[in-house]
Structure 1
Amino acid sequence: MGGMHHLSYGWLTPVLSYVMACVGAALGLRCTVRALASEGQARRNWLLSAAVAIGSGIWTMHFVAMLGFAVPGTAIRYDVPLTVLSLVVAVVVVGAGTFVVGHARSRTRSLLMGGLGTGLGVAAMHYIGMAALRLHGEISYSPLIVGLSVLIAVVAATAALWAALTVHSTAGATVASLVMGLAVSSMHYTGMAAATVHPTPSGAALPGATATEFIFPLTVVLGSFLFLTSAFVALSPTAQQRREAEAAMRRLHDVEARGITMTGP
């Protein structure tokens, strides 16, 4: 792999990146389940939330992992517009997948198309993010391993969606999130294994921003967004709970109305 290092900070970046992938997946899958229990505008809003959660979770995972990436003999910079584009592409492509899940009539078709969309979103984000790298040298890719990384992303994303939509217990949701997190992480490191760096040492200044200047602050912002939104979604009532609460209120009003009628003049 051309002298690349992925553990510049030890196991901190792989473990933290996996946690971020799982948090994004947990939030996104939860929003997808909520969407299927809702209708109209509420369904659309939940699906949009799912796309943003999974897309930003994928992006955060990738660039937290990239904080530990180093190539001896060259500094590394990131092209800012391409890096931002990788985030937008992840959200848009995953969004297409989640909307298929939310609106398709056939469950099998929705799972396959949703898994394909989400998996391709993971892969597109990764390789656009890699295209944003600026270093002294060239990066080449093994087509076979690139294909394998995309396949891993699609298969595992489909499995995670299936688990989220089939198993409605907390344990099922947790397993689905861990599977999705594993999908994103496995795809990332398989994709990195596909890359070979051919460094050409140079004293010239590299264009772009350093990880500390750009990647780290944006990662902290997105990570905070994911954790806070996860807490909000976890604490907000589901559609079923709202219906039960409304039914209980109606029963209470009926009892009060009968009580008033019975004690009336």
Structure 2
Amino acid sequence: MNPIAAYVLAFVGSLLGLSCTVRARAATTRSRRARWLVTAAFAIGGGIWLMHFMAMLGFDIPDSPVRYDPVITAASAVMAVAVVGAGLFIAGTGRRNVGKVILGGLFTGIGVAAMHYTGMAAVRVEGDIWYEPRIVGASVLIAVAAATVALWLSVAVRGTGRVVTSAAVMGLAVCGMHYTGMAALRVDLVPGGTEVPGIDPILLILPIVVVTTATLVGLVFSALQTATAEDFAAPQRWNPLSVQMGTFTGSAHVPESSSVSSHR
């Protein structure tokens, strides 16, 4: 069940994020474009991190409890949003070209892989955790490829159907990177009877759900507010003469005194 839930989180985050990048491309000012890209970074980066955490709830070590360092876990969440945001700004601002998408994909992919292994560094068990180098390398390559494709989609995709399809592809790529990274993990148990430090991951679910819900509500509210402001501003930007001539729908009003004076 965890892989399915993890994929759904990655898909929803990608869907919301790509929808925001579509808005960012349509924005007519730098500040509005920046707001949409920041929102997209929180959506995509947050979705990636939530996917990672949900998948990790299914991580189990026989004969050993699994605990998490809360500080390192929180740091991995911040890292996910930051590296995705950096990639979006590299690829989504200024003149768009293939070189910028590749550079942004390289930066973001390595950052997402670093987020994954930072999150894994928060894991505490009765033993030593290490990784198979070749599989780690494969997971990093998958992360870079997935990030590059994601950034290309963020600057190229238009239309609801394509956005949904692209989000589905992104979700698969991100999950593929995660589970490849997990396949690299090796554990040498050292039973000692001592208590494993850290927090039970189940105890982290409630605060994560609360923070995630508040963040998503804030993102959606901010996005809707910005979209409404842009929609109202668009007719005035593109057809200012209509306002002066009194033909702007819903805004033209001729005072009664003016109509009386016009007959004099």
TM-score range (shorter-chain normalised) is: 0.7 to 0.9
Which residue matches 1:146? 136
Name the SS for the 1:206 alignment partner.
coil
Report matched runs for 1:13-24 at 5 Å.
13-24=2-13
**Structure 1 residue ranges, 4+ long, deviating more than 6 angstroms after superposition:** 257-263
Change (3 A) 1:106 1:170: closer
Change (3 A) 1:173 1:242: farther
Change (3 A) 1:23 1:82: same
Please tell me the residue identity of whatever aligns with 1:110.
K
Contact 1:86 1:125 in 2 (8 A): yes
Q: Which runs of 5+ in 2 are unaligned?
A: none
Which residue matches 1:25? 14
Name the SS for the 1:237 alignment partner.
helix
Change (3 A) 1:248 1:221: farther
Tell me the TM-score normalized by structure 1. Answer: 0.84
Change (3 A) 1:234 1:161: farther
Which residue matches 1:251? 242
Contact 2:39 2:219 in 1 (8 A): no
Contact 1:163 1:172 in 2 (8 A): no
Name the SS for the 2:52 alignment partner.
helix
Residue of 90, 93, 97 corresponding to 1:107: 97
Name the SS for the 2:144 alignment partner.
helix
Rounded Cα–Cα distance in structure 1 between residues aligned with 2:119 and 2:79: 10
Contact 2:91 2:155 in 1 (8 A): no
Tell me the TM-score normalized by structure 2. Answer: 0.84
Change (3 A) 1:162 1:42: same
Residue of 143, 147, 150 corresponding to 1:160: 150
Residue of 62, 67, 86 corresponding to 2:57: 67
Change (3 A) 1:147 1:107: same
Moved more, 32-41 or 65-74: 32-41
> Number of aligned pairs?
253
Pair 1:189 & 2:179 matched: yes
Contact 1:119 1:150 in 2 (8 A): yes
Q: CA RMSD in A?
A: 2.7
Residue of 107, 117, 124 corresponding to 1:117: 107
Name the SS for the 1:168 alignment partner.
coil
Please tell me the residue identity of whatever aligns with 1:153.
A
Residue of 191, 201, 210 corresponding to 2:200: 210
Contact 2:90 2:104 in 1 (8 A): yes
Which residue matches 2:210? 221
Contact 1:164 1:172 in 2 (8 A): no
Name the SS for the 1:177 alignment partner.
helix
Residue of 31, 45, 49 corresponding to 1:41: 31
Which residue matches 1:56? 46
Moved more, 185-194 or 241-250: 241-250
Please tell me the residue identity of whatever aligns with 2:3.
P
Change (3 A) 1:234 1:160: farther
1:227 deviates by 4.6
Rounded Cα–Cα distance in structure 2 between residues aligned with 1:104 and 1:113: 14
Please tell me the residue identity of whatever aligns with 1:173.
V
Rounded Cα–Cα distance in structure 2 between residues aligned with 1:62 and 1:51: 16
Name the SS for the 1:75 alignment partner.
coil
Please tell me the residue identity of whatever aligns with 1:30.
S
Residue identity (%): 45
Name the SS for the 2:187 alignment partner.
strand
Name the SS for the 1:205 alignment partner.
coil
Structure possessing the higher radius of gyration over alpha carbons: 2
Change (3 A) 1:172 1:116: same
Please tell me the residue identity of whatever aligns with 2:93.
H
